[in-house]
Amino acid sequence: MLLSKSCVYGLRATLLLASNQNGNYTSIKELSEKLDISFHFLTKILQQLTAVDLMESLKGPKGGVRLSKSGEEITLLDIVIAIDGEDLLTECALGLPGCGIEKPCPLHDMWASTRDEIREMLESTSLTQMANKGKKMNLRITADGKFTWE
Amino acid sequence: MLLSKSCVYGLRATLLLASNQNGNYTSIKELSEKLDISFHFLTKILQQLTAVDLMESLKGPKGGVRLSKSGEEITLLDIVIAIDGEDLLTECALGLPGCGIEKPCPLHDMWASTRDEIREMLESTSLTQMANKGKKMNLRITADGKFTWE
DNA sequence: TCTATTTAAGAGTAATTTGTCTTAAATATA
DNA sequence: TATATTTAAGACAAATTACTCTTAAATAGA
């Protein structure tokens, strides 16, 4: 799997938040129900995003989470790195520690350029772009497809 | 992680076999020692490759494993698919089952083209190509770098 | 101030991946 | 044929990832 499940869940949730940005907090309960993700599990994942200030949270009634800046300023890469770390973008295809230009493995050159394309793709795409696309074309972000962008 | 550890180990072992192709069997013991991989674990992994006829094995003294055809005819993709399956090349970036042109997620188009590049890279590279490169440039296929292509 | 609501934090469980160990089956060679 | 060597197979253990549950802390609103 390219992205961990946690990361995928984080992306789905932040896409939803980006589609809906009005300054209000959205409760994690609501997110978890709309996205069909376990509430407690999603809570833990989103805590990682608030920990790196990609999101803000507020406890209590009317509380919840929201993006800490415009979804246009948050890229898919920001979310991926916050949850899965840099591994995907730095790791050797043969799993060798310290694989790089100085001490490469046979696959290094090829793999490094593929990795860069992945990075470029994630880095050049904002949450808002994807959320707008999903909204406009009514695309799925859940398995059952019951989710609607409203 | 893009590739599982099993897959990485399988790649390292088959690269070594491709570098050394003379029709003889190489014992898994020797592979595991040269590559610094647990013998029993490597045995299990290589069984998956013999199961799909990418390798042949022979029990008993002088036994071991060898590629079932020239390493020029075996691509990295063959090994990856045999061990990790097609997931990497078919899976949705958001983990949605059945994500495709008819029922895409917002990331689908972008991701599908990146996935195709990964496939293209793995498919167009043979074990022998990588083994020769490693041999010629004396590149690592183990963490400690003690391995030598001889 | 009290209460209901909501996130935070941490312990605990389940599933998957990774790795180990033992025994069985095959085979080359003496 | 007997023996040593090697893969095959399956049970088992450890580590990681995925998920659940309980309790604490914060806060809006009555």
- Chain A hits for B130, CB-CB cut-off 8 Å, are 106-107
pLDDT at B84: 98
CB proximity A132–strand C (7 Å threshold)? no
pLDDT exceeds 90 at position B3: yes
Tens of pLDDT, residue by residue over B87-103, are 999 999 999 999 999 99
CATH code for the part of the protein at B5-137: 1.10.10.10
CB-closest option in A105, A114, A139 to B106 = A139
CB proximity A68–strand C (7 Å threshold)? no
Q: For chain A, what is the mean pLDDT?
A: 96
* 8-state DSSP, A149: -
Per-residue confidence at B18, pLDDT binned at 50, 70, 90? very high
| Residues A46/A10, Cβ–Cβ less than 8 Å | yes
Tens of pLDDT, residue by residue over A61-120, are 999 999 999 999 999 999 999 999 999 999 999 999 999 999 999 999 999 999 999 999
Rounded Cα distance, B54 and B137, in Å: 26
pLDDT at B145: 84
pLDDT at B150: 78
| Residues B105/B92, Cβ–Cβ less than 8 Å | yes
pLDDT at B146: 87
Rounded Cα distance, A107 and B71, in Å: 16
Domain extents in chain B: 5-137
Handedness of CA B31, B35, B36, B39 (dihedral sign): negative
Tens of pLDDT, residue by residue over B36-87, are 999 999 999 999 999 999 999 999 999 999 999 999 999 999 999 999 999 9
| Residues B17/B65, Cβ–Cβ less than 8 Å | yes
Token output for A96: 């060798």
pLDDT at B149: 93
In this structure, the number of other CB atoms found within 10 A of the CB of residue A138 comes to 9
How distant is C1' of D2 from CA of B61, in Å? 15
- Chain B hits for A106, CB-CB cut-off 8 Å, are 15, 130-131, 133-134, 137, 139, 141
Tens of pLDDT, residue by residue over B118-141, are 999 999 999 999 999 999 999 999
pTM of the model: 0.95
